[in-house]
Amino acid sequence: MVANNVLSAAPLNNDGLSSSNTNAPLQNSFINLDQGDTVLFESYWRKMSDECAVVIKGCELLSYVSDNASVCWFMKPELRDVIKRLHALVGNAETQDGHIVIGNGSTQLFHASLFALSSSSNSPNPINVVAASPYYSGYPDETDIVCSSLYKWSGDAKVYDKNEEYIEIVTSPNNPDGSLRRPVVNKKLGREGKLIHDLAYYWPHYTPITHKANHDLMLFTFSKCTGHSGSRIGWAIVKDMDIAKKMTRYIVMNSIGVSKESQTRAAKIMEVLCDSYDQNFKLGSKNSELFFEYSKRLIKERWEKLREVIKENGDLILPKFPGAYCNFTKESSETYPAFAWLMCKKDEDGVSYLEKELKVLARSGNRFGSGPRCTRINMLSRGDDFHEFLKRLSNIKEISY
């Protein structure tokens, strides 16, 4: 089967997505590992396909409103409840003191967060928005898309030294390099700015769960939790009621809420996920075939093969990750991020290297506030693409995959 992400050398659009598709044989075509698609997890959900099925009839879900008693009135109570249940199961975030706000992906909640955190500012100037490099490539463009007067992208948090209000985005594990992060700016200035904790990858298939995150504003996304990126479901856990109301207002003003179909489906899939762990616990069975363990094994296998091939390749370096004990899987392991942050050993342009030597499309370190030596590679792409990528990297015969 020709993988969907095998693309011609058509120019990428601004989102790093190739704008065309070919059905050329894999070995002759470009492989696009620039995107953040999460289709690796599809094999798990294929096993659970019927169990997770939702049926939505024609007369259902007509109304804008789900719960008039809630701040986030377009949110289905069952979705809110299963989000809390999932966090309680995994132990990765405290939800008890928090208000849940949902959005069309955590991307929309990022915008809602900027709006909410900046709109109470007394400063006549836009609030500075910063993140430590390498930062997620979407943050600068998303922040400045409509040139808001409330906030503006102000670059690398590591070098931020203005004595002005700021919002720091702390992404942990980080996209693109998988590192575990803490706020940077407050250390330097001796005071705290406002923080957005983007915890999209703080799940046990990517990284050990060492503690219950308990920050003022935490963002999560269904896309990276289960791999269902097409659903466009994200949620925020927000301590301050006023901030939660402002975030809700943003979502209302922007799109009058979030798809009820997606909410229904996300709730179903998360419920099946939680049920599977509860049932296993009751039976005293091992969890090795359940979602997080199964998916972790797949990602880990890819990382191990990639490290093997990179070692032989000689031109490229991968980051190392410290080990830690995971309270959820009950074992020690390292981080296996959703992206590989590949650096050229020599001072050369990583994107050009990959394009010319390997016909592989990746996202340049320039877009992450780092130099061009680094590139970001998607570790969750379709099997055919990843296999072919390894093959070209190693320039050896078929690897047993």
The interface with its own copies within residues 322-381 (CB under 8 A) comprises none
Q: In the bound complex, what is the minimum distance in angstroms from residue 206's beta carbon to its own copies?
A: 17
Q: Which stretch binds its own copies (CB under 8 A): 79-87, 189-197, 211-219, 253-261?
A: 253-261
List the one residue from 231, 313, 370, 378 that touches its own copies (CB under 8 A): 231
Q: 350 and 373 in contact (C-beta within 8 Å)?
A: yes
- Of 147 and 283, CB closest to its own copies: 147
- Of 223 and 313, CB closest to its own copies: 223
Q: In the bound complex, what is the minimum distance in angstroms from residue 23's beta carbon to its own copies?
A: 11
Confirm or reject binding of residue 21 to its own copies (CB under 8 A): yes
Closest to 55 measured CA to CA, from 268, 272, 271, 276: 268
Q: How far apart (Å, rounded) are the C-alpha atoms in residues 284 and 269? A: 23
Which residues have C-beta within 8 Å of that of residue 393, sequence separation ≥ 6? 306, 309, 310, 313, 316, 358
Confirm or reject binding of residue 89 to its own copies (CB under 8 A): no
Q: 383-394 vs 291-313: helix axis angle to the nearest 10? A: 20
Confirm or reject binding of residue 232 to its own copies (CB under 8 A): yes
Going residue by residue from 199 to 228, which x/- string records binding to its own copies, judged by CB under 8 A? ------------------------x---xx
List the one residue from 108, 154, 295, 313 that touches its own copies (CB under 8 A): 108
Secondary element (H or E) of residue 363: strand 363-364
List the one residue from 24, 65, 159, 396 that touches its own copies (CB under 8 A): 65
Q: 1 and 384 in contact (C-beta within 8 Å)?
A: yes
Q: In the bound complex, what is the minimum distance in angstroms from residue 336's beta carbon to its own copies?
A: 19
Strand-strand pairing, 234-238 and 99-103: antiparallel
Q: In the bound complex, what is the minimum distance in angstroms from residue 100's beta carbon to its own copies?
A: 16
Please provide the DSSP assignment of 235-287 as one string: EEEES-HHHHHHHHHHHHHHHSS--HHHHHHHHHHHHHHHHHHHHHHHHT---
- Residues touching its own copies: how many (CB under 8 A)? 86
Q: In the bound complex, what is the minimum distance in angstroms from residue 148's beta carbon to its own copies?
A: 4
> Residues 261 to 320: which contact its own copies by CB under 8 A?
261-262, 264-265, 269, 272
CA angle 168, 169, 173 (to 5 degrees): 140
